[in-house]
Structure 1
Amino acid sequence: MNSLLLHCRPGFEGEVCAEITEHAVGLGIAGYAKAKPGTAYAEFICAEADGAAQLMRRLRFAGLIFPRQWARGRFVGLPESDRVGALLEALADYPVCGSLWLEVFDSNEGKELSTFCRKFEMPLRKALVKAGRLVEDAGKPRLLLTFRSGREAFLGLAEADNSAMWPMGIPRLKFPREAPSRSTLKLEEAWHHFIPRDEWENRLAPAMTAVDLGAAPGGWTWQLVNRHMRVTAVDNGPMAPSLMDSGLVEHLRADGFVFRPRKPVDWMVCDIVEKPARTAALIETWLGEGLCREAVVNLKLPMKQRYAEVRRLLERIADGLQGRGVRVVIGCKQLYHDREEVTCHLRRL
Structure 2
Amino acid sequence: MSGLLCYCRGGFEPELAAELGERAAAAGHAGYAVTERGSGFVRFLTPAGDAAGLSRALPWRSLVFARQKLRLLADLDAVDTRDRIAPVLAALQAGAVDGTLAPRFGALLVEHPDSDEARPLAGLARALGNALRPALRKAGLLAAKDDPRRPRLHVCLLAGDHLLLALGDPADSAPWPMGVPRLRLHPDAPSRSALKLEEAFLTLLDDGERARLLRPGMTAADLGAAPGGWTWVLQRAGLQVSSVDNGPLRQHVLDGGGVEHLREDGFRWQPPRPLDWMVCDMVEQPRRVASRMATWFREGWCRQAVFNLKLPMKKRWLETSLCLDIFGREAGLPLELRARQLYHDREEITVLAIPTGR
| Length-normalised TM-score, structure 2 | 0.93
Partner of 1:146: 156
Query: Within 1, Cα distance between the matches of 2:210 and 2:6?
Result: 29
Q: Does 1:242 align with 2:252?
A: yes
Partner of 2:282: 272
CA contact (8 A) 1:142 1:158 kept: yes
Q: Does 1:183 align with 2:193?
A: yes
Partner of 2:124: 116
- Superposed CA deviations along residues 122-161 of structure 1, whole A, max 9, x for unmatched, are 2211110011011254443221111001211101112111
Partner of 1:86: 87
SS of 2:117 mapped into structure 1: helix
Identity of aligned residues (%): 44
Query: Within 1, Cα distance between the matches of 2:295 and 2:57?
Result: 33
CA contact (8 A) 2:194 2:232 kept: yes
CA contact (8 A) 1:8 1:69 kept: yes
Residue identity matched to 1:82: D
Aligned to 1:132, which of 124, 129, 140?
A: 140
CA contact (8 A) 2:24 2:58 kept: no
Partner of 2:336: 329
Partner of 2:8: 8
Q: Following TM superposition, by how much is the alpha carbon of 1:59 offset from its aligned partner in structure 2, in angstroms?
A: 2.3
Partner of 1:72: 71
Query: Within 2, Cα distance between the matches of 1:197 and 1:69?
Result: 19
Alignment RMSD: 1.4
Partner of 1:19: 19
Q: Structure 1 residue runs of 4+, over 6 Å off?
A: none
Residue identity matched to 1:56: S
Partner of 1:31: 31
Q: Following TM superposition, by how much is the alpha carbon of 1:247 offset from its aligned partner in structure 2, in angstroms?
A: 2.0
Query: Within 2, Cα distance between the matches of 1:36 and 1:199?
Result: 37
Q: Following TM superposition, by how much is the alpha carbon of 1:281 offset from its aligned partner in structure 2, in angstroms?
A: 1.1
Unaligned runs of 5+ residues in structure 2 are: 97-101
Query: Within 1, Cα distance between the matches of 2:291 and 2:209?
Result: 28
CA contact (8 A) 1:257 1:282 kept: yes
SS of 1:123 mapped into structure 2: helix
Unaligned runs of 5+ residues in structure 1 are: none
Q: Following TM superposition, by how much is the alpha carbon of 1:80 offset from its aligned partner in structure 2, in angstroms?
A: 1.4
Q: Following TM superposition, by how much is the alpha carbon of 1:109 offset from its aligned partner in structure 2, in angstroms?
A: 2.1
CA contact (8 A) 2:39 2:115 kept: yes
Partner of 1:338: 345
- Superposed CA deviations along residues 96-121 of structure 1, whole A, max 9, x for unmatched, are 22221112101112221112212221
Query: Within 2, Cα distance between the matches of 1:264 and 1:242?
Result: 27
How many residues were matched structurally?
345
Query: Within 2, Cα distance between the matches of 1:346 and 1:71?
Result: 25
Residue identity matched to 1:89: A
| Length-normalised TM-score, structure 1 | 0.95
Q: Following TM superposition, by how much is the alpha carbon of 1:271 offset from its aligned partner in structure 2, in angstroms?
A: 0.3
Residue identity matched to 2:71: R
Query: Within 2, Cα distance between the matches of 1:110 and 1:160?
Result: 25
Query: Within 1, Cα distance between the matches of 2:139 and 2:43?
Result: 30
Query: Within 1, Cα distance between the matches of 2:227 and 2:147?
Result: 45
Query: Within 1, Cα distance between the matches of 2:226 and 2:149?
Result: 45
Q: Following TM superposition, by how much is the alpha carbon of 1:321 offset from its aligned partner in structure 2, in angstroms?
A: 2.4
CA contact (8 A) 1:287 1:348 kept: no
